Amino acid sequence: MKTKKRVLGLGNAFPKFEKTAVVSMEPGKEFATISSEDLKGKWFVMFWWPKDFTFVCPTEIESFNNNYEEFAKRDAVLLGASTDSEFVHLAWRRDHPGLNKLQFPMIADTSKSLANELGILEPTEGIAYRATFIVDPEGIIRWANLNDLSVGRNVHEVIRVLEALQTGELTPCDWEPGQPTLQV
């Protein structure tokens, strides 16, 4: 699947969407609809992985889950997504012990429409790159990061950037949460 879209980046509005997601392992409550309307007025972080039932992806998903409270402390909604179906997501959660207690939704972009609008579809296989977006309460992308398919991302860096953005201040190189911001 070829895409001619460029990756949406800083200053762009995050696309409107409505997708099915896996939100629970409880029978009858596994699925919910998640939409951009649900996120209005909130910071959110959406991270994408290429494929379920692979090797690097669960390490990232587990790390985001292990740091879920760090996002919650910053009043940021955490969302995971791939182009796999909600049924594949659910089967993977049931099959992989590190995924059965996820605290965030696994969005299914089976039509690939959201990944395409974001410009993050890998052109040969039509799967999503390892993309991460931090979006402000006005729905504007404030940070976008793409990794090669073979390289896992650093969840602590996502948290650091989120907190830096939320300060509304200038932060110097190598700034860490708790350190002073630049006073001009």
- Does residue 135 contact residue 46 with C-beta atoms inside 8 Å? yes
> Which residues, in sequence order, are CB contacts of 125 under 8 Å at separation 6+?
1, 50
Is residue 2's pLDDT more than 90? no
Is residue 10's pLDDT more than 60? yes
Is residue 26's pLDDT more than 90? yes
pLDDT digits (tens, 9 = 90+) for 81-113: 999 999 999 999 999 999 989 999 999 999 999
Task: For residue 57, indicate whether it is catalytic.
Answer: yes
Is residue 11's pLDDT more than 50? yes
What is the predicted pLDDT for the residue at 5? Answer: 75
pLDDT band for position 4 (cuts 50, 70, 90): low
Q: What are phi and psi of 135, to 5 degrees?
A: -125, 135
Over residues 166-176, the mean pLDDT reads: 95
Q: What is the pTM of this model?
A: 0.94
- Does residue 141 contact residue 10 with C-beta atoms inside 8 Å? yes
Question: What is the percent of the chain where pLDDT is above 90?
Answer: 93
Helix count and strand count (H, E) for the chain: 5, 7
Q: Which domains does the chain have, with CATH numbers?
A: 18-167 (3.40.30.10)
What is the predicted pLDDT for the residue at 49? Answer: 96
- The one catalytic residue among 23, 34, 45, 57: 57
CA distances from 86 to 57, 90, 92 (A): 16, 6, 10
